[in-house]
Chain A
Amino acid sequence: MTTKQHSAVLTAPLPSLGTLFASAFAREWVIAFRNRADLANPLLFFFSILMFIPLGVSPDPKVLGAIAPGIIWTVALLATLLSLDRLFVGDYEDGGLEQMLASGQPMFWLVLAKIIVHWLVTGLPLTLLSPLLGVMMSLPGEGYMALVVSLAIGTFVLSLIGAIGAALTVTLRKGGLLLSLIIMPLYVPVLVFGATAVTASIDGVPIAGHIAVIGAMLAISLVLAPAATAGALKINLRH
């Protein structure tokens, strides 16, 4: 994005919330697609890490099928973590974040736009490609629908919670590792309910309850996580 467009987005006189959100969203979307390598990294990681499981554990379809729900969910979680590191760092380094704060616009919506784009370019592709991983990991047929649905909702929660960690560590030089350390404990409930939803579906148990819990997590984090993220960014940039 050129400087001219940049300033046009960020210094327009008091746009409505809808306009603000739409322009922030458009900006993030363009930036995401200008960095193709960043876009492909989590997906490549997702697939390459899966290779180690049959090699390291066992290529036996029975063994793989039994552990597939948990493994696919864990790898999706790690791939999301990997990409979160860059969520705010680029904007922090080039001063974009300071511009956003100085613009006086509500950070909540700017942050939410960033998180939604992050999910669209990492969580959603991971979800759409997960059936392929299911085949590679000999996932039993009953599990596919549950895998896709739980990942679709769950990865969005992962992006939302992860954004808090990314904001907390944005000014730190070794933020990436620290980000994983502080965010992992918060990811556990999502992983537990996501993976057990898939396992339950394979066992023929209704999964509506599991999906409802992940949905509730999404509802709560959708309201609270952007606020916490915006707060953390404000604190970190004022020092």
Chain B
Amino acid sequence: MSWEWFHRLGSPRWFYEKTTAWLPWLGATCVIMLVGGAIWGLGFTPEDAKQGNSFRIIYVHVPSSILAMAGYYVMAIAGAIGLIWKMKLSFVVMRSAATIGAGLTFLSLFTGAVWGMPTWGTWWEWDARIMFTFILLLLYLGIIVLHEANPSKDAADKVCAILALVGTVNVPIIYKSVDWWYSLHQPATIKVTDESTIAASMAYPLIVMIVAYYLTYSWALILHVRAEILLRERKTRWVQDLVAEK
């Protein structure tokens, strides 16, 4: 097997030029799936027996929570790859994942609060999962702050990668928190191995939304990485040529 693609992947310029062609297709797919999934979920699913119409926020809340946690692994793994193979591009992905992850975590907490008010009668509860998601937000923000504080960007990349790796211990705790501490937050209803406890008519649009969120996440990540590449490589010839062209 040829490893050439892997080495080329490390080049910011190669990445930038390659993704230019992908972006319109990826963007169009994301918009279609997000709009389609939202219309299906919000308009065509039956009302929940206990929660009425308020359950429909799961089509935003659940995918953003999943991506908030998955995004942490994206960030930590990108950081680890950067530390081990000294790939420039990997650190750019790590830094971009931190910003997007912080946004998604905030979205998850916010939509959770909006859902909590009609169903639990409270905006905020010191429930284990909410608390650990809040910690996840702090971890993301800590990485952003640490990166911004370090004057040497090279050192900033590496120390943030270490912090990202150390912080991974918290993610499984968030994931299992609904099972370990049984409180207000409902336990997982979609299961991979057991039978799901969510009705199929509600589950299918949710799955569409989760896939749409994954795609949108990668779209946003690529866009952020491209912007970050231009910023970091602004002194190179190819970026200056690119800017001059436009």
Contact = CB atoms under 8 A, between A and B. Distances in A.
B145 interface: yes
Nearest to B137: A185
A151 interface: no
Interface of B is mostly: helix
B167 interface: yes
A188 B145 contact: no
A101 to B, nearest CB: 14
Interface in B160-189: 162-163, 165-167, 169-170, 173
Interface string B110-135: 00000000000000000000011001
B170 A186 contact: yes
A182 B163 contact: yes
A181 B152 contact: no
A10 B183 CA distance: 54
B155 A171 contact: yes
Interface string A151-179: 00000000001001000110110100010
A181 B163 contact: no
Interface string B1-31: 0000000000000000000000000000000
Interface residues of B, number: 25
Interface stretch (A1-9, A102-110, A127-135, A228-236): A228-236
Given A164-B166, A185-B170, A235-B158, A178 B135 contact: no
A36 interface: no
A162 B163 CA distance: 12
A189 interface: yes
B149 interface: yes
Contact of A239 (B132, B142, B152, B165): B152
B163 A168 contact: yes
A184 interface: yes
A239 to B, nearest CB: 4
B146 A178 contact: yes
Contacts of B150: 171-172
Contact of A235 (B132, B149, B159, B166): B159
B142 A181 contact: yes
A169 B146 contact: yes
B138 A178 contact: no
A171 B159 CA distance: 11
B78 interface: no
Most-contacted residue by chain A among B131, B159, B165 (CB, 10 A): B159
A228 B138 contact: no
A183 to B, nearest CB: 8
Using C-beta atoms within 8 Å of the partner chain, give the interface range for chain A.
20 to 34
B139 interface: yes
B165 A185 contact: no
B154 interface: yes
A91 B139 CA distance: 28
A178 B149 contact: yes
A228 B166 contact: yes
B60 to A, nearest CB: 25
B145 A232 contact: no
Contact of B167 (A174, A185, A236): A185
Given A185-B135, A239-B154, A172 B162 contact: no
B149 A228 contact: no
B162 A232 contact: yes
A85 B180 CA distance: 34
B149 A174 contact: yes
Contacts of A235: 155, 158-159, 162
A182 B146 contact: yes
A91 to B, nearest CB: 18
A43 B116 CA distance: 42
A210 B135 CA distance: 21
Interface of B: 131-132, 135, 138-139, 141-143, 145-146, 149-150, 152, 154-155, 158-159, 162-163, 165-167, 169-170, 173
22 contacts: A161-B166, A164-B166, A168-B159, A168-B162, A171-B150, A171-B155, A181-B142, A181-B145, A182-B145, A185-B135, A185-B167, A186-B170, A188-B132, A188-B170, A189-B169, A189-B173, A220-B169, A224-B166, A228-B162, A231-B162, A238-B155, A239-B152
Rank and list the top 5 A-B pairs by shortest CB-CB distance, nearest first.
A182-B142, A239-B155, A185-B138, A239-B152, A235-B158
Interface of A: 161, 164, 168-169, 171-172, 174, 178, 181-182, 184-186, 188-189, 220, 224, 228, 231-232, 235-236, 238-239
